[in-house]
Structure 1
Amino acid sequence: MDHERSTPPGRVVNAAAGSADQVLQVGHVAGDVHVHGDPAPSLPPPRQLPREVTHFTGRAAELSKLDALLGNAGSARSSTVVISAIAGAPGIGKTSLAVHWSHQVRERFPDGQLYVNLRGYDASPPLSADHVLDAFLRALGLPAGRIPQDTDAKASVYRSFLAERRMLVLLDNAATPDQIRPLLPNEPGCLVLVTSRSRLSGLVARDGAHRISLDLLAPDEASSLLRDIVGQDRTDREPKAVDELARRCAYLPLALRITAERLAARPRSTVAELVHELADERQRLDVLAAADDDECTAVRTVFSWSYHSLPRDTARMFRQLGLHPGPTISLDAATALTGSTTTVTRRLLDNLVAVHLLAETESRRYQFHDLLRDYAAEQALLDEPDAQCGLAVQRLFEWYLHTAHAALFAYYPLNPELPIDSPPATCRALEFTGLDHARRWLSTEYPNLVALIRRAPNLSQHTACWQLTIAIGTYMMQELPVADRIDVHRHGLAAAQHTGHQLGQAWAYLNLGSASRDAHHYDDAIEYGQRVLAISRSIDAKFMEGAALGNLARCFNDLRRYTKAAELGNQSLSIYRKIGNLRNVGLSLIQLGESEHGLGQLEQANAHIQQGLDIVTALKGTTLQALALRCQAKIFHAQGQRDLAIQSLNRAALLSKSVRDDRRYGDALNQLGELYNDIGEPDQSRNAWREAIAVLAYLDPPQADRIRIQLNSFENGNINDS
């Protein structure tokens, strides 16, 4: 079969496909070279800069310093630029300066621009370098399943991708040098801009960064910014009031912009009237808070000017958005939250975007700026009646739950019926056209789904919490690291226990058992399986009883306790036959055959596996077909039918890959490597193991490590033999 490999887009690779397209250069190749298919098309260079800043004013000295640094890019030892605000004040314009200048020079970096908000000073936890490296490597064209698990390894791959390229990297809102260092390329042709509220002295001292301390705007620049936004006609009539308004805003760019937008939105108001509104000492002190005071106090006051001038329906939209716990929100989710129509919701969201209280990060998806999310949530508690907050949260959870449930069956049609409440008539959950559509939605919304699950207890959404965890269980099993799965299902278990729902607890234990088995935590997996068994028998839930027995049988197969596994597998098979669950009859036959193979009963094992394969093939159960073929390959190998074994494993790998089941794809590659090793095909074995490591490094690090150790031992043995 083909073993696809990822290469940094835009780099020199060699294609042996009869074209002069790309070139792969190697020094020495041991053994035969096998090339299959055309090379994958390169992705376009990343262009991740936020949109250009409107009405950018001033900063001439700082722009000149940046231009001077650009002149040295490519020759200086380090071209990292740290932009920080004195006393770390928010809203000083660090990001505006960095984005504005980056747009001016982006043509100097033809290989692309990378951008990330590191959330160093944010209500949410700061982004780790590990998290950012994942995102950057994906943007550079490396598939998620092939990104290394270790942070240092990710950083090494990242630096390799940037080698000999001219790229601009903008790291926004950093907290510490440690958050930044793994993201620094080695190439002098790359330029890194870092914005932070701290001075990042360690980055200057150890890494040679050039610091630009960003101060408040000069008085004339602040007044000029107000004039640009409000309009010359109005401001020329009140020049002194404009200067006073700038002073009352402490010459802080964020405060100036929000104030000017409010004034522009009130064409019948005078500048002097707004100055008078700022005369209140408590508000003025908030804006002009000293560096040692709580930064949020000043920002809160500035935000209040925008909030209190909103139309009633737009203000309600703003504070209801504060009830959403996730990092972004789609138009559909916002519509569910408000209980309104899509048209009305879009208009209100556009109103908020227009006055800079909300950002539209992509079509139909929105995000609050750093502290605005906290402020919106605060206003929801202050201004929205408790009952209305409760209804909005209920609508939000219902929409996410039933949309996730719909996505599940598009993603994996053979999934069993789940104990999820029927959607209310008012819930307009999304519908999905197929696997790809569902997968895109689940991937995009996963951070929001996890945020909902974690916040659910505080929002009295315990039932929705455990139901949501089982709705996304299959997606997580195939596409997410096992540690994430365990964390989510523990939240689901706690929620089910809080409600006392026995079947909900059984599902949570079942998912925890499956995740623990994939993590090779067999003691935990067996304990969870036994708990599912006890609960299911106490409430006469036959499907769950069969599932518990099946999970336990898989654990004992892994532990090579085949007699026990066969005993449990037969019990599971009997239950599924009685209740007529054909999908799980097929699965049980496959697992029983695996146990019988372990006991040396090859003919009986092959018969059971073939029966199971026939059933799941008729049901179009691609994942289970791949499992059956992998089990069948073991029997063919034991019977000396090597060609059939290789054929079965190649088919299993292709099936798993076709439905993006990378975990099972990696398992098939590993098994293929073992088979090639046994039959004396070292090059094929090495290739299969290397690809298995790349695929499993993200999803199953312990298994990837085991394969890596096996590969190292194999290669060292070959060296010693030579």
Structure 2
Amino acid sequence: MPPSENDNQSREPGSTHSDLSGISRDVVQAGSVSGGVHFHAHSAQDNPGGRVPRQLPAGVSGFVNRTDELRDLDEVLAGERPERPVVYVIAGTAGAGKTSLTLRWANQAQGHFPDGQLYINLRGYDPGKPITALEALHRFLTALGVPAAALPPDTEAAAAMYRSAPADRSMLIVLDNAATISQVRPLLPGNSRCLAVVTSRSRLSGLTVHAAARRLTIGTLKEPECVLLLRTVTAGYRPEDEAEQLIELARLCARLPLALRVAAERAASQPHLRIEELIADLRDESALWDTLSTGDEDESGAVRTVFAWSYRALPADSARLFRLLGLHPGPDFGVGAVCALAEIDTRRARQLLDGLVAAHMLEQTGPGRFEFHDLLRAYAIDQARVEESDESRAAALRRLLEWYLHTAGAAQTWIRPSREHVPFDEPAGGVKPLSFTDYDQAVDWAEQEQFNFLPAIRAAVKAGLDRHAWRFALVLWSAKAPSTPAAEWLTIGQIGLEAARRAGEPLGEAELFRSLGFTHVKINNMAGALESHGGALAIQRDLGHRQGEATALNALGLACLRWRRLPEAEAHFREAAAVFESLNSPHWNAVVLANLAAAHCQAGRLPEATDAIHRVLAYQREKNNKRSIGNALHLKSGVHLDRGELDEALQTAQEAVELALDLRSHVLEGYWLLALGHAQLAAGKSADALVSFHRSATLHRRLGDRSREALAWNGAGAVHQHEDRPEEAADFHRRAAATQHELGFHWHEAMALDGLAIALTGVDAAQSRRRWTDALELISYYDDPRAQAVRQRMEHHLTQTG
């Protein structure tokens, strides 16, 4: 029995591993084949897609004032380059205009940061949940070109990757609305060419101590500045009002820019009213608010007074939409979600949204996308609680959730059409889900709504809508955008699983277990994968659902195969095959037979593997299933190679890769190129093999499959050893061993150590023997024919070098 994936943490890794942290983020680059394969640090020039992020939102229109503050910020650019990253904290009370000031300056200064700008609203003071550091890191790393599957699932590892990702780049990072230092610290850059600007209502004093941050505290505006702001917003809409009256209006707004803009927009929209009437109206609203409040936080109370004053002036339909939008659980929303919430059509929704934006009660963030200022969202939530009945609020939320559920189902049809569809009830009246005409449309929607999915599921659970919650979680496994990190769906899936249990829906629970199992495989969590697939199997057996039982057994076998637990994998596959045979399911029989063949190949049981491969190939060629044909050919190439049939090995591997190219599948191409590279090397075509391994490593890097990327590195090491370049060979093998050790793939780690020992034989005999000793320890748990042969060869080498 091989050790679990966590056992490597207690085993002393030795010098081979201790000096190789972070190596798995390197990228294989082939210069000329004669020059070999080289490693380069990840940079803006060689990241996937060559992405230079440009994430800054546009600044507020008609920005005025804050000239002293803008000058202070400009001094950061004028000064000499510091020895550490510059961190600038802009602190101030709610509504003081921290974000407006920051975006104004950042958009002017972005030319000083040619490698890009990152921006995130951390929502530290939002009525909903704030953005965690891990969520923010995942968004930034994705923007920097890191594949979703390669994103680390924990904050510390993600922060380490983030600090190295923008190495040698000059970037501006804006961290807006931070509440705590813990939100901010992992997001600070790792080089002195970057600048991080943080806005917060808190002083975040710890950043001054630990990150040498500078701080700019902004307060309310001076009275002349208030007058300038009010006149700028109202210019052209009403006669110029007297300065003394505008100062009185400003005092009622606590001289806060957010409240001043809302008040100015109200004044601009009612040019027929004299300024004295507007001031009297606002003063009456203020008196009413004073009777309802405790008198604490005068500035906050003044802001809410202005909100109430502006809200009461809205037409009834606009006011209703404003308060219903407070029920939306996510950070932003599109027109379709608005239609579902308010039971209105698209044209009317756009009209009302435009009115709310014009009144500064809502912000438009992009084409058809909107969000609240956090203070306005809190006010909208309060108004919904006061003016909408419990039944009205529940019905609106239900409509919204059904819109998300059915629209996600439509997206799945394009994103993962082969996955079984979740059964839905008909949507409530007034709910018109989106439909999509192509794959790109579906993915665009999933990406736009990505950060609303988890809040929507949590809202469903809180409202007692468990059937909605688990169905939504399950459909999202298939409908999420391909760029979504696996760890993000993991949280959604776990919430859905618990909802299915509460709802008494065991089939839903089983399907969520299965999806969780596949997700754990993607993040290299063997224990989680086995536990989840085992949970699915137990439920399917309890229900007497034979088809479900067999698919769960096959999934368990695949998880065991991935970690080379071959006896268990084979037992699961055989049990699944027996069930599929009894159900007369030839398709599934062929699938499981191919998986059995893969287990036989890994174990070195060539006669059994050959027989299974021939049967699979015959069936899949008859069905013209290119993907399955290519998989069988990939396995067949390995059998030929083991038998020394080099021409046949080369031919079948090449055919498999050509099928992958026909299918336009980088997943298949990258994996099957490994077989082609080994066949080319065995046939003496070392230059071709190096190209194949390079291409495989590049594809797997972009796909985020670090283990298979390391397999390509190990292949490149074998090529260099064949060409009598032991130092370069050792470098590749070290990198491969370190990555496989980190991921817990013990067999692959042992094979990389074997290659390293061979490379070191004529360079450092003592080190060579230690690597073989380490490798023998790793494979001592395996007793299949291939493991026995490898063990005998290593022991022979130790004897010869002793």
TM-score, normalised relative to structure 1: 0.81
CA distance in 2, matches of 1:607, 1:477: 40
In the TM superposition, residue 110 of structure 1 has moved relative to its aligned partner by 4.4
| Contact 1:331/1:346, CA 8 A, preserved across alignment | yes
Q: Counterpart in 2 of 1:356?
A: 360
Q: Counterpart in 2 of 1:337?
A: 341
CA distance in 2, matches of 1:659, 1:474: 20
CA deviation vs aligned residue, 1:351-385 (integer Å, no higher than 9, x gap): 22222222222212222222333332332222223
In the TM superposition, residue 153 of structure 1 has moved relative to its aligned partner by 3.1
Please, which moves more after superposition, 50-59 or 435-444?
Answer: 435-444
Name the aligned partner's letter for residue 347 of structure 2: T
CA distance in 2, matches of 1:609, 1:183: 50
Query: Aligned pair 1:59/2:97, yes or no?
Result: no
| Contact 2:237/2:268, CA 8 A, preserved across alignment | no
Q: Counterpart in 2 of 1:705?
A: 743
Query: Aligned pair 1:551/2:555, yes or no?
Result: yes
Residues 129/241 of structure 1: CA separation in 2 closer, same or farther (3 Å cut): same
Aligned match for 1:114, one of 90, 111, 118: 118
Residues 485/80 of structure 1: CA separation in 2 closer, same or farther (3 Å cut): closer
Q: Counterpart in 2 of 1:696?
A: 704
Q: Counterpart in 1 of 2:595?
A: 591
Q: Counterpart in 1 of 2:399?
A: 395
Residues 213/142 of structure 1: CA separation in 2 closer, same or farther (3 Å cut): same
SS of 1:69's equivalent in the other structure is helix
Residues 674/178 of structure 1: CA separation in 2 closer, same or farther (3 Å cut): farther
In the TM superposition, residue 318 of structure 1 has moved relative to its aligned partner by 1.7
Residues 444/527 of structure 1: CA separation in 2 closer, same or farther (3 Å cut): same
Residues 599/69 of structure 1: CA separation in 2 closer, same or farther (3 Å cut): closer
Q: Counterpart in 1 of 2:56?
A: 49
Q: Counterpart in 1 of 2:766?
A: none
SS of 1:264's equivalent in the other structure is helix
Residues 132/525 of structure 1: CA separation in 2 closer, same or farther (3 Å cut): closer
Residues 363/32 of structure 1: CA separation in 2 closer, same or farther (3 Å cut): closer
Please, which moves more after superposition, 300-309 or 212-221?
Answer: 300-309
CA deviation vs aligned residue, 1:669-706 (integer Å, no higher than 9, x gap): 78888989999979679855686466436899988634
Name the aligned partner's letter for residue 289 of structure 2: Q
SS of 2:273's equivalent in the other structure is coil
In the TM superposition, residue 92 of structure 1 has moved relative to its aligned partner by 0.6
Name the aligned partner's letter for residue 326 of structure 1: G
CA deviation vs aligned residue, 1:602-635 (integer Å, no higher than 9, x gap): 3443443455466667778777666555544543
Aligned match for 1:488, one of 473, 492, 508: 492
In the TM superposition, residue 251 of structure 1 has moved relative to its aligned partner by 0.7
Q: Counterpart in 2 of 1:25?
A: none
Name the aligned partner's letter for residue 84 of structure 1: A
SS of 1:488's equivalent in the other structure is helix
SS of 2:165's equivalent in the other structure is helix
CA distance in 1, matches of 2:310, 2:628: 56
CA distance in 1, matches of 2:558, 2:97: 57
In the TM superposition, residue 494 of structure 1 has moved relative to its aligned partner by 1.5
SS of 2:167's equivalent in the other structure is helix
CA distance in 1, matches of 2:571, 2:68: 78
Q: Counterpart in 2 of 1:98?
A: 102
Q: Counterpart in 2 of 1:635?
A: 639
Residues 196/39 of structure 1: CA separation in 2 closer, same or farther (3 Å cut): closer
| Contact 2:148/2:485, CA 8 A, preserved across alignment | no
CA distance in 2, matches of 1:703, 1:423: 50
Mapping 1:3-22, distance limit 5 Å: none
In the TM superposition, residue 216 of structure 1 has moved relative to its aligned partner by 0.9
Please, which moves more after superposition, 528-537 or 377-386?
Answer: 528-537
Name the aligned partner's letter for residue 82 of structure 1: V
Q: Counterpart in 1 of 2:412?
A: 408
In the TM superposition, residue 487 of structure 1 has moved relative to its aligned partner by 2.7
| Contact 1:286/1:297, CA 8 A, preserved across alignment | no
CA distance in 2, matches of 1:523, 1:624: 28
Aligned match for 2:283, one of 263, 278, 282: 278
Aligned match for 1:605, one of 588, 609, 626: 609
Instruction: Using CA pairs under 8 Å that are at least 6 residues apart, name the structure with larger relative contact order, 1 or 2.
Output: 2
Residues 159/603 of structure 1: CA separation in 2 closer, same or farther (3 Å cut): same
In the TM superposition, residue 257 of structure 1 has moved relative to its aligned partner by 1.0
CA RMSD in angstroms, aligned pairs only? 4.5
| Contact 1:286/1:299, CA 8 A, preserved across alignment | no
Query: Aligned pair 1:440/2:444, yes or no?
Result: yes
CA distance in 2, matches of 1:373, 1:654: 55
In the TM superposition, residue 100 of structure 1 has moved relative to its aligned partner by 1.7
CA distance in 1, matches of 2:49, 2:265: 43
In the TM superposition, residue 405 of structure 1 has moved relative to its aligned partner by 1.8
In the TM superposition, residue 333 of structure 1 has moved relative to its aligned partner by 2.4
Please, which moves more after superposition, 183-192 or 481-490?
Answer: 183-192
CA distance in 1, matches of 2:46, 2:158: 28
Residues 411/233 of structure 1: CA separation in 2 closer, same or farther (3 Å cut): closer
CA distance in 2, matches of 1:183, 1:14: 33
Please, which moves more after superposition, 73-82 or 270-279?
Answer: 73-82
CA distance in 2, matches of 1:504, 1:621: 30
CA distance in 2, matches of 1:387, 1:715: 68
Mapping 1:152-231, distance limit 5 Å: 152-160=159-167, 162=169, 165=170, 167-177=171-181, 179-185=183-189, 190-231=194-235
Residues 517/298 of structure 1: CA separation in 2 closer, same or farther (3 Å cut): same
Asked which structure has the greater CA Rg, the reply is 2
Name the aligned partner's letter for residue 398 of structure 1: E
In the TM superposition, residue 504 of structure 1 has moved relative to its aligned partner by 1.6
In the TM superposition, residue 720 of structure 1 has moved relative to its aligned partner by 6.4
CA deviation vs aligned residue, 1:160-183 (integer Å, no higher than 9, x gap): 151xx4x44333223345544554
Residues 124/155 of structure 1: CA separation in 2 closer, same or farther (3 Å cut): same
SS of 1:361's equivalent in the other structure is strand
| Contact 2:237/2:269, CA 8 A, preserved across alignment | no
Residues 237/356 of structure 1: CA separation in 2 closer, same or farther (3 Å cut): closer
Q: Provide the identity percentage.
A: 33
TM-score, normalised relative to structure 2: 0.73
Residues 332/639 of structure 1: CA separation in 2 closer, same or farther (3 Å cut): farther
Q: Counterpart in 1 of 2:317?
A: 313
In the TM superposition, residue 396 of structure 1 has moved relative to its aligned partner by 1.9
CA distance in 1, matches of 2:640, 2:405: 44
CA deviation vs aligned residue, 1:328-347 (integer Å, no higher than 9, x gap): 22222222333321111111
SS of 1:195's equivalent in the other structure is strand
CA distance in 1, matches of 2:742, 2:701: 5
In the TM superposition, residue 152 of structure 1 has moved relative to its aligned partner by 4.2
In the TM superposition, residue 98 of structure 1 has moved relative to its aligned partner by 1.7
Residues 388/670 of structure 1: CA separation in 2 closer, same or farther (3 Å cut): farther
| Contact 1:478/1:663, CA 8 A, preserved across alignment | no
Q: Counterpart in 2 of 1:266?
A: 270
CA distance in 2, matches of 1:317, 1:457: 24
CA deviation vs aligned residue, 1:385-440 (integer Å, no higher than 9, x gap): 32232222222222222222222232223223544445567543333344444333
| Contact 1:478/1:662, CA 8 A, preserved across alignment | no
Number of aligned residue pairs: 692
Q: Counterpart in 1 of 2:4?
A: none
Mapping 1:444-523, distance limit 5 Å: 444-474=448-478, 481-516=485-520
CA deviation vs aligned residue, 1:289-311 (integer Å, no higher than 9, x gap): 666x8x86554444333332221
In the TM superposition, residue 458 of structure 1 has moved relative to its aligned partner by 1.1
Aligned match for 1:84, one of 79, 84, 91: 91
Please, which moves more after superposition, 540-549 or 123-132?
Answer: 123-132
Gaps of 5+ in 2: 1-23, 40-44, 709-738, 764-802
Gaps of 5+ in 1: 18-27
